[in-house]
Amino acid sequence: MTGLTLEHPSDDTAGVFTREGIRLSRQGRYEESIRWFERALTHDPQYAQAWMGKGHALGKLGRYQEEIEACNRAIELDPTLIQALVNKAFALGQLERFEEKIAVCDQAIRANPAYAHAWNAKGHALGKMGRFEDEAACCEIAVSLRPRYLGAMVNRGFAQMKLKRYEDAVDSFRQALRIYPGYLSAWIQCGTALVLNGQNEAALKCFDRAESLSPGNPHILFWKGLALSRKGDYTQALRCMEELVEQDPRHAEAWIVISNCYFMLGKMDDSVRTFMVAYDIDKKDIKSCITRSVSLIRDGKMDDALHSISQAFGILLR
């Protein structure tokens, strides 16, 4: 604690307490930061910045509905707080309420069409709903407004991958990596795009760099194993995939690659055994997707329901 107390307030007590909350939040000390925001709000319940700061900290703790409520209060008190709208949009996305997220992003964009974060957040939600052309367009606007916006570059690249524009995707990821060579997600996604484009050797170089930043990362293990499998190095591919399923025994796609590797190595019994593991996982996942889609349809959230059904079909087509 900094020694700030309500017993000896400054002329800007709520502001001082809020700034302390922000300082703690930036250090990842979210529970402590919430206490300071609440102290600010005890002193001045109308202090919009404290509501926004409290909401952000709640979101970092995974308390997304509470974040939405705090952001709503901040926006009610100060409609010019566009960052509160973007924070609310983030929380809605975490709750998979993508239609609502897009509506909130549009509200922020109407307030300030040059707010790059709102364009990127809208693009991300559109991508989650399978609207990848629109996602890429929104992220392109975000990058044009903020030329060093790494997150928007990576989101644009992800959308381009989904559109099978793999060379464009690689360019997007490499643009981000030229600015920040330590960007783990960009290395992983760049490698992924290269695998999908049949450039397995180049992909493995990306995954080696990614592993130096995050050893044992499950995303790296999967895509590195897939690249090795596609170039015919089945023994090395098995090592990657077996390490992955030790971490995540329900990774059905990894089990499928393992089954294929055993098949190519002539180990038929192991191939059948591991394929059946994947099949059992898929059955449970399909049931979960269908159950969720029915619930969303009942709630009238048709786009979100379609997204969930698409996930089920994706499993079936695997």
Q: Give the pLDDT of residue 294.
A: 61
In this structure, the answer to whether residues 127 and 79 fall within a common structural domain is: no
Share of the chain above pLDDT 90, in %: 78
Indicate if the pLDDT at residue 8 is higher than 50.
Answer: no
Indicate if the pLDDT at residue 316 is higher than 80.
Answer: no
Residue 229 tokens read as 């499998």
Q: What is the 3-state secondary structure (H, E, C) of 21-72?
A: HHHHHHCCCHHHHHHHHHHHHHHCCCCHHHHHHHHHHHHHCCCHHHHHHHHH
Q: Which of 69, 97, 125 is the C-terminal boundary of a domain?
A: 97
| Contact in structure between 230 and 202 (CB atoms under 8 Å) | no
Q: Of 11-20, 29-38, 121-130, 304-313, give the lowest mean pLDDT range.
A: 304-313
| In a domain? residue 104 | no
Q: Give the pLDDT of residue 226.
A: 96
User: By CB neighbour count within 10 A (0-12 exposed, 13-18 middle, 19+ buried), where does 168 fall?
Assistant: middle
- 6 φ, ψ (degrees, to nearest 5): -70, -20
| Contact in structure between 81 and 107 (CB atoms under 8 Å) | no
Q: Which of 35, 70, 97 is the C-terminal boundary of a domain?
A: 97
Which residue type does 208 have? D
| Integer Cα distance of 129 and 213 in angstroms | 31
In this structure, the answer to whether residues 151 and 205 fall within a common structural domain is: yes
Global pTM reads 0.78
CB atoms within 10 A of CB 302: 12
Segment 95-124 shows an average pLDDT of 97
Distances (CA, A) of 169 to 111, 116, 163: 31, 20, 9
| Integer Cα distance of 16 and 47 in angstroms | 11
Q: Share the mean pLDDT of the chain.
A: 89
Indicate if the pLDDT at residue 185 is higher than 90.
Answer: yes
Segment 29-46 shows an average pLDDT of 96
| Integer Cα distance of 170 and 177 in angstroms | 10
Indicate if the pLDDT at residue 73 is higher than 70.
Answer: yes
Q: How confident is the model at residue 300 (pLDDT cuts 50, 70, 90)?
A: confident
In this structure, the answer to whether residues 66 and 128 fall within a common structural domain is: no
Q: How confident is the model at residue 176 (pLDDT cuts 50, 70, 90)?
A: very high
| In a domain? residue 259 | no
| In a domain? residue 147 | yes
| In a domain? residue 244 | no
In this structure, the answer to whether residues 117 and 200 fall within a common structural domain is: yes
Kindly report, residue by residue over 273-298, the tens digit of the pLDDT: 888 888 787 665 555 655 665 676 67
In this structure, the answer to whether residues 59 and 158 fall within a common structural domain is: no
Q: Give the pLDDT of residue 108.
A: 97
Q: Give the pLDDT of residue 1.
A: 34
Indicate if the pLDDT at residue 198 is higher than 60.
Answer: yes
CB atoms within 10 A of CB 4: 16
Indicate if the pLDDT at residue 317 is higher than 80.
Answer: no
Domain count of the chain?
A: 3
Residue 287's domain comprises 265-318
| In a domain? residue 249 | no
**Runs of H (alpha helix) within the chain:** 13-26, 30-43, 48-60, 64-77, 82-94, 98-111, 116-128, 132-145, 150-162, 166-179, 184-196, 200-213, 218-230, 234-247, 252-264, 268-298, 302-317
Q: Give the pLDDT of residue 63.
A: 97
In this structure, the answer to whether residues 171 and 216 fall within a common structural domain is: yes
Residue 86 tokens read as 């973007």
Q: Which of 41, 63, 97 is the C-terminal boundary of a domain?
A: 97
Segment 101-105 shows an average pLDDT of 97
Kindly report, residue by residue over 208-244, the tens digit of the pLDDT: 999 999 999 999 999 999 999 999 999 999 999 999 9
In this structure, the answer to whether residues 178 and 123 fall within a common structural domain is: yes
Q: Give the pLDDT of residue 71.
A: 97
- DSSP structural state of residue 115: -
| Integer Cα distance of 166 and 263 in angstroms | 29
| Integer Cα distance of 146 and 316 in angstroms | 40
Residue 33 tokens read as 């930061």
In this structure, the answer to whether residues 34 and 124 fall within a common structural domain is: no
| Contact in structure between 156 and 140 (CB atoms under 8 Å) | yes
Segment 245-253 shows an average pLDDT of 93
CA atoms in the 13 A half-sphere facing the CB of 90: 21
| In a domain? residue 253 | no
In this structure, the answer to whether residues 130 and 91 fall within a common structural domain is: no
Q: Give the pLDDT of residue 6.
A: 37
| Integer Cα distance of 136 and 49 in angstroms | 32
Indicate if the pLDDT at residue 145 is higher than 50.
Answer: yes
| In a domain? residue 240 | no
In this structure, the answer to whether residues 127 and 154 fall within a common structural domain is: yes
49, 54, 56, 61: CA torsion to nearest 10: 170
Segment 153-158 shows an average pLDDT of 98
Which residue type does 121 have? A
| In a domain? residue 233 | no
Q: Give the pLDDT of residue 277.
A: 86
Q: How confident is the model at residue 117 (pLDDT cuts 50, 70, 90)?
A: very high
Alpha carbon 245 to chain centroid, angstroms: 22
Which residue type does 81 have? L
What CATH number is attached to the domain comprising 172? 1.25.40.10
Segment 138-163 shows an average pLDDT of 98
